């Protein structure tokens, strides 16, 4: 699938936190993003959610992800928040309700191509008994720049 997205990731860095650990939390779930420190927070951008989608597949939380994405979707994209501590461990744990004391990782996805719903189907396909139904992409089916076959 050809797609065009802009993903903005923002994570607060409190005085009691080590900036590098918060940056590691962001990179653990968004390895294509390179966070920069700006006014007490880390900000990163990427143009893919393939690695993030792989984590959703690995953890078998596609249905949960779809619900979260669709709940906060608009005609232009969708947003969600993640728990920092879980992300530091390389785990996706969606933040719902009040933010954690140290804040959450906020993610905004702007979808230019295709439409928002089709992109959500790509990242977190519908499932039947936990297995993707007619998936657009399979787990791990992403561009590997080190593979000479591409």
For 66-110, the pLDDT digits (tens) are: 999 999 999 999 999 999 999 999 999 999 877 777 889 999 999
Q: In whole angstroms, give the CA distance from residue 15 to residue 58.
A: 33
pLDDT score at 73: 96
β-partners of residue 127 are 132
112 within some domain: no
Residue (of 7, 12, 11) closest to 26 by Cα position: 11
The CATH number for 75's domain is 3.30.1440.10
Say how many domains are in the chain: 1
- Contact between residue 57 and residue 78 where contact means Cβ atoms under 8 Å apart: no
Say how many C-beta atoms besides its own lie within 10 A of residue 101's C-beta.
7
If pLDDT is split at 50, 70 and 90, which confidence band does 136 have?
low
Exposure string over 15-54, b if 16+ CB within 10 A, otherwise e: eeeeeeebbebbbbbbbebebeeeeebbebebebbbbbbb
98 within some domain: yes
Statement: residue 5 has pLDDT above 80: yes
Domain of 49, in residue numbers: 4-106
Tell me the pTM: 0.85
135 within some domain: no
142 within some domain: no
144 within some domain: no
End-to-end CA distance of the chain: 15
């Amino acid at each position: 699938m050809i797609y065009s997205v802009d993903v903005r990731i923002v994570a607060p860095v409190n005085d009691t936190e080590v900036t590098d650990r918060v940056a590691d939390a962001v990179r653990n779930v968004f390895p294509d993003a390179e966070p920069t420190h700006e006014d007490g927070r880390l900000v990163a951008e990427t143009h893919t959610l393939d690695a993030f989608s792989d984590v959703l597949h690995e953890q078998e939380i596609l249905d949960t992800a779809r619900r979260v994405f669709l709940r906060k979707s608009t005609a232009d994209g969708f947003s969600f928040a993640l728990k920092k501590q879980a992300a530091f461990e390389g785990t996706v744990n969606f933040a719902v309700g009040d933010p954690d004391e140290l804040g959450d990782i906020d993610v905004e996805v702007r979808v230019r191509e295709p439409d928002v719903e089709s992109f959500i189907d790509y990242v977190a396909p519908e499932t039947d008994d936990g297995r993707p139904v007619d998936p657009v992409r399979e787990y791990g089916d992403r561009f590997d720049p080190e593979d000479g076959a591409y």
